[in-house]
Amino acid sequence: MLTLPDDLRGAFKDPMGPVYTDTERLLADAGDPIVAVGDVVTYHLRVAGRDPDVAVIDGKTEREAVGDEIAAVLDGENRRIEVENDPATLSRAMLEALAEAIADPDPVVIHVTGEEDLATVPALLVAPEGASVVYGQPGAGMVLVDVTSESKSRARELLGELDGDTAAALSALGVE
């Protein structure tokens, strides 16, 4: 549905919020609900005793399979939605799964075959204001993005810069 053009890759490398290495401090600053994008982020939140309301995982970290310890923590009993999402893309299935997972009052894991890296942007659009989206910043830590009108506006701008049908993507998210 949407694809990241090569010339825009740099725009997605800068953290969208403060970077944390201490999970407890991140949780003290986080809103509710929490959307976690990434296996290692989800692992750290669960080990700290906070199951994300929505976790988007793909079984990999920096394009390598996660270790057994992380995989064991990720293999929970939460409802799972299986989606396919190619690298550097946002599929309709991914967008619809994010909207469905946010609406569910119980924790949901979106398990991605492919790559989940771009899910942060639509997660900001579907999460309610006051929520937090947490994602991994390779080599640095965990990025905490508070869902505000400003972060939603930035996410909408970024989504609009992707190649593809932005209006259809917003529709799949249930966002106007």
CA gap 74, 42 in Å, rounded = 7
Instruction: Report the length, in residues, of the chain.
Output: 176
Ligand-binding annotation for 37, yes or no, is: no
Distance spanning both ends of the chain, measured CA to CA:
17
Helix locations, the chain, DSSP H: 23-29, 39-47, 68-74, 92-103, 120-126, 149-161, 166-173
Ligand-binding annotation for 39, yes or no, is: yes
Contact, 122 vs 132, CB < 8 A?
no
Ligand-binding annotation for 41, yes or no, is: yes
Ligand-binding annotation for 116, yes or no, is: yes
Pairing verdict, β 79-85 and 141-146 = unpaired
Ligand-binding annotation for 40, yes or no, is: yes
Q: How far is CA 83 from CA 115, 116, 118, 171, in A?
A: 10, 10, 14, 18
Ligand-binding annotation for 152, yes or no, is: no
Binding-site positions? 39-41, 58, 60, 116
Which residues fall in the annotated binding site for GTP? 39-41, 58, 60, 116
